[in-house]
Amino acid sequence: MNIFITGGTGGIGKGLVEHYLKLGHRVGICGGSQEDFQNSYNSVNYEISKLFFYDLDVTDRDKVNKVFTEFSKDLNLDLLICCAGINNNKPHSSLEIDFEREHLILNINLQGTFNCFTEAIKIMKKFNSGHIVGISSAAGLIGLPGAPAYCASKSAIITLCQSLYVRLKPLNIFVTAVAPGYIDTPLARASVPGIENKKSTLTIKQATEEIVRAIDNKKLLHIFPFQLKLTSIIIKLIPLKLFYFVVAKIYMKQIK
> Residue 53: which CATH number?
3.40.50.720
How is the chain classified by DSSP, letter by letter? -EEEEETTTSHHHHHHHHHHHHTT-EEEEE-S-HHHHHHHSTT--S-GGGEEEE---TT-HHHHHHHHHHHHTTS---EEEE------SS---SS---HHHHHHHHIIIIIHHHHHHHHHHHHHHHHT-EEEEEE--GGGSS--TT-HHHHHHHHHHHHHHHHHHHHHGGGTEEEEEEEE--B--HHHHHHSTTGGG-TTPBPHHHHHHHHHHHHHTT-SEEEESHHHHHHHHHHHHS-HHHHHHHHHHHHHHHH-
Total of domains in the chain: 1
**For position 41, what pLDDT does the model report?**
86
- Give the global pTM: 0.92
**For position 86, what pLDDT does the model report?**
93
- Name the pairing type of β-strands 173-180 and 221-224: parallel
Separation of CA 76 from chain center: 22
**For position 22, what pLDDT does the model report?**
93
Gap between the Cα atoms of 78 and 123, Å rounded: 9
Tens of pLDDT, residue by residue over 82-141, are 999 998 877 766 788 899 999 999 999 999 999 999 999 999 999 999 999 999 999 999
Q: Domain residues for 39?
A: 2-255
**For position 256, what pLDDT does the model report?**
59
Hey, what amino acid is at 141?
A: L
Tens of pLDDT, residue by residue over 195-236, are 777 778 999 999 999 999 999 999 999 999 988 889 888 988
Tens of pLDDT, residue by residue over 19-76, are 999 999 999 999 988 998 988 888 766 677 799 999 999 999 999 999 999 999 989 9
